[in-house]
């Protein structure tokens, strides 16, 4: 019978990795790629969230037309691959 394996993560290590510039760059690249795939009327932005512990990317509509496209056709949702 297989034994159960317990993995303990080092929170401070993860926090350190998440603050690396390379992670922020990756989040920025992916955020902008999603906005571009969604099409005209969507823009991406990256902010430092969770008490300034990590970069968080957001993509949102910039006008009523793109908001309607998301509501009716889920173009933003489909752009997240």
39 phi and psi, to 5 degrees?
Answer: 105, -170
- Checking DSSP bridges between strand 42-49 and strand 54-61, what pairing results, if any? antiparallel
Inside any domain, residue 45: yes
pLDDT over threshold 90, residue 26: yes
- The predicted-structure confidence for 41-81, as pLDDT tens digits, reads as follows 999 999 998 888 889 999 999 999 999 999 999 999 899 97
Give the predicted TM-score (pTM) of the model: 0.79
Overall domain count for the chain:
1
Inside any domain, residue 14: no
The gap from C-alpha 9 to its chain's centroid, in whole angstroms, comes to: 22
- Who wins on pLDDT, 79 or 8? 79
Inside any domain, residue 72: yes
pLDDT over threshold 90, residue 36: yes
User: Where residue 13 falls among pLDDT bands split at 50, 70, 90?
Assistant: confident
Inside any domain, residue 16: no
User: Where residue 1 falls among pLDDT bands split at 50, 70, 90?
Assistant: low
Inside any domain, residue 51: yes
Inside any domain, residue 4: no
What is the Cα–Cα distance from 28 to 37, expressed in whole angstroms?
A: 14
Structure tokens at 76: 């933003």
């Amino acid at each position: 019978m297989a034994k159960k394996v317990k993995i303990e993560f080092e929170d401070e290590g993860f926090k350190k990795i998440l603050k690396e510039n390379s992670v922020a760059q990756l989040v920025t690249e992916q955020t902008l790629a999603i906005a571009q795939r969604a099409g005209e009327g969507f823009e991406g932005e990256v902010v430092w969230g969770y008490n300034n512990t990590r970069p968080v990317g957001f993509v949102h509509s910039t006008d009523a037309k793109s908001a309607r496209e998301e509501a009716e056709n889920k173009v933003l949702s489909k752009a997240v691959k």
